[in-house]
Structure 1
Amino acid sequence: MLLIDRVIELARLPSDRLPARAMGLARFSLLDWMACGIAATDEPVAAKLRLLAEQEAGNGVSSVFGDGGVPARMAALVNGATSHALDYDDTHFAHIGHLSVAIYPAALAVAEEIDASADAMVEAFLVGAEAAIRIGIVLGRAHYNQGFHQTATAGAFGATVAAARLYGLNREQLRNAIGLCSTRASGLKSQFGTMGKPYNAGIAASNGVECAKLASLGMTSSDDGLEGLQGFIPTHSPAAEPASDGSIDNFIFDDNKYKLHACCHGTHAMIEALLGADALKGRGLDDIAALVLRTNPRWLSVCDIKRPRTGLEVKFSYNWLAGMTIRGDRTGDDRIYRDSLVDDRALSAFANKVEVIGDDALTDMQARGVLTLKDGAKIELHHDLDAELPQHVLAGKLRTKAEALIGARGTGLWQAFADLAGKSARAVGSALRK
C-alpha cells in the first residue's frame, strides 16, 4: 500500500477503531495545548498575529487565544504560533515533532466552524497526529538534519488530515488535500530561537485548514503529493526511510511525550537525570568540578547553545540548564527564562565546566553523564524519557503544569474538559478567550 493510500485510510478510520489509550492521550494533549496557549497569550508573536487576524476579512467563526472569533484559517495560524511560543508543548520523538501545536489549532478552528462535538475534534486531531508521525518517519532523520522543522512539514499534513476528516472529505478530495499540502508545507530549523519557530507551527495549522477547504471546494492536485514524482518526500528528504509496516489500528501516537520543563525537549533527559541523582542532593554549583554529558548527536544542532544571548536561547542550552537544575531553579516555570539569566555569573562560570558529547548509542530520549565533584567523587547520571507513566500519574503532572502556567484557570480547564462527553468544540474554543 502506498503511503498516501495508508494515510487516506487512516483519515477515514471509524471512531470505534481509534485506540482507547491513544484517545486518552489525545485528550491530555488538548488540555496541555490549551494551557500552553493561554499562558502565551501576551507573547509578542501572539500579539502580532492577532493584529494580522483583525486585518483579514471574513466571518469570525473560530476562537483565538486571548481574543474573539476570526476566520478558521487565520485562527489556526494564530493559535498554532501562540501555543508554541513558550516551547512547552508535547513532542513525539519518532520524528521529532510537536503535534498539538500544529494539529489542534486546525482541528479546533474547523470544528468550531462546522459546530462539531469536542470528541469529534479530538478524533480528528488523533488521526491527524498519527498521519503526521507516519509521514515524518518516512521523511526520516535526514529531513530533520538537513534543516527542516518536522512540526511544520509533517505537521502540515497532519493538520490537513484533521481538517479533512471534520469537513467530511471523500477519498478523492482527501487525495487532493494532501497533494495541495505537499506544495504548501514548509518550515526551517534556522528559525529556532526566534519568533519564526512558533510561526512554523502556525503555518502548519493554517496550511491544513486551507488545503482541506480548497479540496472541499473542488480544487485538484497531483495524484500522489507524498511519494510521487517530485512529490514532497523525494524533494525534501535526501534519504527517506521505509514506511511503517504497522497496522493503522496500532497507533504510534501512544508514545507521545509531554514537557514538564519549559525548555527544549532535548534537554529534559539531562534535567531529569540531574534531579534524580540522590548523591547530588544538598550540593551546589561550587561543589562540582566538571560535568560530562552524553546525548544523541541530533540534539547538538538544536539545544547545545554554549553561550545563550537571550532568555529564549537559554531554553536551548545544556550548559545553562544544567547549572539551573543543580542550583534548584524551577525549570518548569516559564517566567524564570528572563534575558538576565545570560548575565548570571554563577551560571556563566558553571557553563565552562560542562562538556556535551554526541553519542550514537543513545536514543533521542536518553542522556548519560558523569559529574565529578571537587573532592574527586564521581556521580553517574542516566535518564530515559521513554519510560511510560501511568495515565493517572501523567494526568496529575499535566494538571500541576497547567496550574503553574495559568493558576486557577488551569484548574478550571481540567475541571471543565477532562471529560468531553456532551461538550462542543465551541465550548472548548470559548475557554481560549479572555
Structure 2
Amino acid sequence: MGVMEELLDLAATPADVLPQDALRMAQNSLFDWLVCGRAGQGEPLSGILHQMAQAEGGSAEASVFGLPGGYPARMAAMVNGAVSHALDYDDTHFAHIGHLSVGVYPAALAVGQARDLSLSEVVEAFLVGAEVAIRLGLVLTPGHYNRGFHMTATAGAFGATVAAGRLMRLTREQMRHAVGLCATRASGLKSQFGTMGKPWNAGIAASAGVECAWLALHGMTSAEDGLCGPQGFVATHSDAPDEAAFGAAPGFLFGDIKYKFHACCHGTHAMIEGLLALPGEQRSRVKALTLRTNPRWLRVCDKKAPQTGLEVKFSYGWLAGMVLRGMATGDDRVYADALAEDAALKDFASRVTVIGDETLSDMMAAGFVVLDSGEKVPFSHDLAAPIPQDRLQAALVRKAEAMIGQAGPALWHTLEQGGPARGLAGFVSGA
C-alpha cells in the first residue's frame, strides 16, 4: 500500500481508538499554542497581519489572536499560525524537524469554530493531522530540511489539510483531492529564519490546509496521487525519499512532542540546559566554550553576527553568553534588537566554537567550557529524556504565567472543562 493510501487510512482513524497518551499531549499542545498566540499578538508581525485581516473582512467564522470579532476561517488560520510562531516559543517534534501546533492547530480551531464543533473534536483532528505531518516528514527525510525547506510549513501544510478535512467530514476521495491540492500549495523556506517570514511560513501552512480542504469539499479535483505520483510533492522535494517510513513505526509518534521553555530556536535548548546544569560559581567564571551539536543545526542556530533580537534566537554564541550572564532566556522580552549590539555578548561569542558532530542526535548537545583558571569542564544534555506528565503540565502552566499572567492558569481550567471551540473566542481575541 502506498503512502497516499496509508495517509488516507490514518486520516480516517476513529476517535475512539486514538491513544489517550497522545491525546493528552495534544491537549498540552493546544494550551501551549494558545498561550504562544496570545503572547505574540503584540509583535510587529501581528500588527501587519491584523491590518490585512481587517482590510479584507469577510464572513465572521473564527477568532483571531488580538482582534475582536470574527474572520473567515482561512484568514484566521493564516494570522493565528503566524502570530503563534512570532515568538518562536512553540512546540517541536524532532522526528520531522518541525513545529506542529503552529501549522496544524490554527486550521483545526478555525474550522472547529466555523462549524460550531467541540474542543474535543478539534484536539482529535489536530492529533491526526499532526501525525500525518510527522510521518510525511519521515518520508521526505532530513535531506528535505537540509536542502532549505521549512518542514513546519511543508509537511505541516499536509497535516493542516488533514485536520481541516477531518472536521469538514470529507469523504475518502475528497480527502485524496485535498491532499493532492496541498501538494501544489505547500511551501516554506529556511532562508526566512530570523525574519518575520519564518512565522509567516506557519500561517501559510495553516491557511493552505483550510483552503485545500474547503476546495475539495466543494468539488475541486487534483492529481490522483499528488504526494508520491510522478512529479508529485515527494519526488520534487526530496532527493532520496523513504516511502516505507510512513507506516514503519507503530502507534502515534506525536507523543514525543517537545515543549520550549526558552524563547529561542529549539536547536539551542540542549546547549542551554547543559550550561544551566553547571554550578552557578562555574558559570560566572567561563571564558570560552566549545560546543558539539548535530551538523543540521549549523545552518540554523549558529548565526555568528545576529543583527536583530530575532536573529539572536538563532545564535549559539549569543545565547551561551546570555545563559552564563544569568539572563532569562525564557522571557521573550529579553530579545530586543539592542541585544544584538551588546558588546560583552559579542566578545564572548567570538570565543565560542561550534562543531558539527554526526554522533549526536538533533536533541543532544555536548562540549566543554574553559574557566578563568584554564580548567575545562564538560557539559551535555539530551532533550529526549522523558518528563513525567504532572511535571510537564506544571512547567507549561508556569511558562504561561510568565508569558500572559493569570490568564494562563485560567485557560488551563477552561480547557479541562471542554465545551465548544467557539468558547475560546474571548481568550483568542484578548477580550
TM normalised by structure 1 equals: 0.97
Gaps of 5+ in 1: none
Give yes or no for the alignment of 1:258 onto 2:259: yes
Distance 1:60 1:433 in 2: 13
Aligned to 2:357: 359
Matched position secondary structure for 1:7: helix
Q: Deviations over 1:305-332 (max 9, x none)?
A: 0111111111000001001101111000
Q: Which residue of 1 aligns with 2:286?
A: 288
Q: Which residue of 1 aligns with 2:6?
A: 6
**Pairwise mapping of residues 25-424 of structure 1 onto structure 2 (< 5 A)?**
25-67=25-67, 68-244=69-245, 246=247, 250-278=251-279, 281-285=280-284, 287-417=285-415, 419-421=416-418, 423-424=419-420
Distance 2:45 2:286 in 1: 39
After superposition, what is the alpha-carbon deviation per residue over 1:92-128, rounded to whole angstroms, capped at 9, x for unaligned?
0001110000000000000001100000000000000
- Look up the equivalent residue of 2:281 and give its one-letter code: G
Q: Is the 8 A contact 1:131 1:157 kept in 2?
A: yes
Structure 1 residues 401 and 289, CA, compared in 2 at 3 Å: closer, same or farther?
same
Could you report, residue by residue, the CA deviation over 1:180-230 in whole angstroms, capped at 9, with x for unpaired residues? 000000000011111100110000000000000000001100011110011
Cα deviation per residue 1:148-190 (whole Å; 9 max; x = unaligned)? 0000000000000000000000000000000000000000001
SS in structure 1 at match of 2:177: helix
Matched residues in 2 for 1:189 and 1:391: separation? 32
One-letter code aligned to 2:395:
K
User: How many positions carry a matched residue from both structures?
Assistant: 429
Distance (whole Å) between structure 2 residues aligned to residue 429 and residue 132 of structure 1: 26
- Show structure 2 runs of 5+ residues with no match: none
Conserved? CA contact 2:291–2:367, under 8 Å: yes
Residue 44 (structure 1) shift? 1.2
Distance (whole Å) between structure 2 residues aligned to residue 117 and residue 173 of structure 1: 23
Query: Would the aligned equivalents of 1:179 and 1:226 in 2 still touch at CA under 8 Å?
Result: yes
Superposition deviation, residue 352 in structure 1: 1.5
Name the CA distance, whole Å, in 2 between partners of 1:147 and 1:244: 21
**RMSD of the alignment, in Å?**
1.2
Q: Quote the sequence identity (%).
A: 59
Kindly provide the amino acid, as one letter, of the partner of residue 34 in structure 1.
L
CA contact 1:17–1:249 (8 Å) conserved in 2: no
Shift of the 75–326 alpha-carbon distance from structure 1 to 2, 3 Å rule, reads same
Q: Is 2:429 the counterpart of 1:430?
A: no
User: Is this contact kept in 1: 2:63–2:425, CA < 8 A?
Assistant: yes
Secondary structure at 1:69 match in 2: strand
Equivalent-residue separation in structure 2 for 1:102 and 1:289 (angstroms): 40
Tell which deviates more after alignment, 424-433 or 105-114: 424-433
CA contact (8 A) 2:156 2:205 kept: yes
Residue 290 of structure 2 aligns to a residue in which SS?
strand
